[in-house]
Structure 1
């Protein structure tokens, strides 16, 4: 029983100090996760609230089935891009068919991962070449970052490849919206400064390294608050600044995905690729963090946990999820001791979905674009180029 339900192991020794540490970590991760969830949903071509939905059920299910004490699952940049690329071949963005295909992809990906876990195929991660994975993630990060530049400039630059997007930016630069550029440029500069210089500044002021790291990771919240207030106070939506707009309040209603055989056949290969890439990222992050505390994870059980998380994401109106590096590191640095921190985060995200969405109406999409750019550039492994050569 404990093999498939690791929750029984840590619940047996759960106590008040551990719960307090997990709760504090959950608060910090939630602050970071709200803008990320919105941004990655838009990156996937989905309504912003879908990102919030994908950050509730998966966290709860991973707390039950996962073996990592600090891994935080949810939407991530690379999987969001892969979802947009795959679903965009089937339906047009903004349609019910597009959302339905993304939901079905999450469920299908989850079923694949669950089957792999039951068959004890966790060892397959050992056969994946590190240069291939590193190159794939780095190239995806560059493509994602360049694809967000039009959002910073307030222009449209359609295209599916890097060259097409760059040409689109060059052609559309004449239509730059100065207000969008001012907000997006500020958010980008602030987030970049926070990542590169804020931690050292805080440490010089006597802040402990762990606390300083958490503050740096939470910088997107400050960018969201400042730019949202500016857009609201100055009425920038009437001046051409794209804002998130209405985000429905309330929890997602559980529902089955479309069972159309043609749809499932069309997304079969993309779902398999998302499953593989998502699992490799998840197990890599989980193993790295576990090693720092001399803990161990079970690769086969991680397949089951990630599969259950994706099935939960799909059934609750979300899209494919995996273990996120940045939020997992924040969870670790904030002192999370057990997967209960993820469960607390899920509850906090649910409360945010219920009560905080009206406050996000004036959130500029340029801010979310800046958040994505800064987040994904950290995935680019420039040193890998030299090693591969």
Structure 2
């Protein structure tokens, strides 16, 4: 049974499910459902799909994640960044509003889900590590700016277009003469109200004596209040006849059974966007899940999370949805509301199903401007330009990666931004590891410890050079070590022995082995001994399977202090 519980976590937490957990999960589900109804509609709008697609994408996926997911607080469904990526990908294959566009959305969810499940089955969650945190922060910041800008057309009531920031701004300015002033008033009022609700309502309610639970529910219901007020206003004053664009008719039904497209051309076109959406969605989801799990001393299994998110996306593909992942805001709300288990998600799905059956006629007169305001307020919290200042002060290389990701995403679009983020992350890693930190060390007086001769007062010996290698050795940096040793040994003629301190070396690949052999031969010709110290067991095992140790013209010491005692001829202070 352990293997079965591994793939079906519901069998684990479900055994201890009790009345208290049920109560907490139901309360959390009510709060999250209230928040998700307008949010789901808004993210469908962002993805270029009918509003009901947002609700459909929040029912079956949540239920499937409840069965396969390991996080007890993660709330799965449409999110802003993935919705933007979806719109960008689908725009390449079909026009918004067509049947082909909706089928392409299902296919994208299918590809994303299939890729995630395969990664989970083969335990490839580590691949997400190729996206560094600074690059992810830069991409999300740029995406937030793009998303907010893309919604300005709904606030203004114009038909602007574009997938990059310059295109969007140029298109908006070109259509300013067609602004619908009633729509603008609705949009700006809703945006200002939602900002006020987010920043001030909870504190105001607590000051008035409301309980924290009531304050939380009313604050999360802020978007619902905006939806109700603007919908009533449009209906009561007939504003739809005065140019205010509305949601219109939303089918009153549960998610239908749908079939993605399997055309080879469609699959090949959407394959790369599907993979990028999978990676971005997984990184966002697993980071949120790990953060929330740590607060309750719980743990998640990243590889099983891949399967859970994959199953959720497959569910969306066959129930009229589009790609989904774990959302930051809704997950935090779910956690703060007291969700104990993934069952809270199942109850949320039930609430959304009830809304799909009975409440959709009520949103007929809901203005698109209100949904746009909901999106703008939600995504601006993702924008963190301070990451530029932080990385500039800490690491110029990380700053370059963040700045490049932001600029490329804004100027060339989200897909190029994601691809460039992956490329920059990999190149940044290769750059850093290609020039590993190698410190020449000496003995700290009256101890057996060795430290950098340029940072500490230590004992050295002119006949002995000890280099501490602070990085695994592989094909990218192997030559760097060769050149460094060659330069150090030829600086003077007193050196008789070189010791490579391998305490931080976890791996030596074949290219690095060849470099070590070349170093050994060169030093032998110079009548300089090459020694190793503090070699880790796995590295020693690998070296033992080669001829390197047999041909080494020195020794392998258990500790650097042993090497010092045997090889140091005339130790002296480094300051002398």
User: Normalized against structure 1, the TM-score is what?
Assistant: 0.98
**Residues 153, 160 of structure 2: 8 Å contact kept:** yes
Q: Which residue of structure 1 lines up, in the alignment, with residue 535 of structure 2? A: none
Distance in 2, matches of 1:213 and 1:295, equals: 24
Pairing partner for 1:48 from 44, 48, 51: 51
Distance in 1, matches of 2:84 and 2:250, equals: 22
Q: Which residue of structure 1 lines up, in the alignment, with residue 117 of structure 2? A: 114
Pairing partner for 1:92 from 80, 90, 95: 95
Matched, 1:156 2:159: yes
Q: Which residue of structure 2 lines up, in the alignment, with residue 230 of structure 1? A: 233
Pairing partner for 2:130 from 127, 130, 140: 127
**Residues 211, 334 of structure 1: 8 Å contact kept:** no
Q: Which residue of structure 2 lines up, in the alignment, with residue 20 of structure 1? A: 23
Residues 211 and 382 of structure 1: is their aligned pair in 2 closer, same or farther, counting only changes over 3 Å?
A: farther
Matched, 1:187 2:206: no
Pairing partner for 1:83 from 86, 89, 99: 86
Superposed, 1:155-304 pairs within 5 Å as 155-209=158-212, 211-304=214-307
Q: CA deviation at 1:388?
A: 2.3
Q: Secondary structure at the match of 2:365?
A: coil
Q: Which residue of structure 1 lines up, in the alignment, with residue 533 of structure 2? A: none
Matched, 1:101 2:104: yes
Matched, 1:382 2:385: yes
- Name stretches of at least 5 consecutive residues in structure 1 with no aligned partner: none
**Residues 154, 366 of structure 1: 8 Å contact kept:** yes
Q: Which residue of structure 2 lines up, in the alignment, with residue 373 of structure 1? A: 376
**Residues 210, 333 of structure 1: 8 Å contact kept:** no
Q: How many equivalent pairs are there?
A: 389
Q: CA deviation at 1:203?
A: 2.6
Q: Which one has more relative contact order, counting CA pairs under 8 Å at least 6 apart? A: 1
**Residues 214, 333 of structure 1: 8 Å contact kept:** no
Q: CA deviation at 1:19?
A: 0.5
Distance in 2, matches of 1:210 and 1:293, equals: 20
**Residues 34, 220 of structure 2: 8 Å contact kept:** no
User: Which has a greater percent of strand?
Assistant: 2
Pairing partner for 2:360 from 336, 357, 360: 357
Residue by residue over 1:280-327, the C-alpha shift from the partner in whole angstroms, topping out at 9 and shown as x without a partner, is 000011011111111111101000000000000011010000001111
Q: Secondary structure at the match of 1:3?
A: helix
Distance in 2, matches of 1:217 and 1:388, equals: 33
Distance in 2, matches of 1:107 and 1:182, equals: 40
Q: Which residue of structure 2 lines up, in the alignment, with residue 333 of structure 1? A: 336
**Residues 69, 305 of structure 2: 8 Å contact kept:** yes
Q: CA deviation at 1:167?
A: 1.4
**Residues 57, 312 of structure 1: 8 Å contact kept:** yes
Distance in 2, matches of 1:92 and 1:183, equals: 28
Q: CA deviation at 1:211?
A: 4.9
Distance in 2, matches of 1:251 and 1:350, equals: 6
Pairing partner for 1:73 from 71, 76, 88: 76
Q: Secondary structure at the match of 1:2?
A: helix
Q: CA deviation at 1:156?
A: 1.8
Deviates more, 1:167-176 or 1:44-53: 167-176
CA RMSD of aligned residues (A): 1.1
**Residues 256, 315 of structure 1: 8 Å contact kept:** yes
Q: CA deviation at 1:256?
A: 2.4
Give structure 1 regions of 4+ aligned residues with deviation exceeding 4 angstroms. 208-211
Matched, 1:33 2:36: yes
**Residues 247, 368 of structure 2: 8 Å contact kept:** yes
Q: CA deviation at 1:254?
A: 1.6
Q: Secondary structure at the match of 2:175?
A: helix
**Residues 137, 379 of structure 1: 8 Å contact kept:** yes
Q: CA deviation at 1:210?
A: 5.8
Residue by residue over 1:159-211, the C-alpha shift from the partner in whole angstroms, topping out at 9 and shown as x without a partner, is 22111111122221222112111111110000011112222222322345565
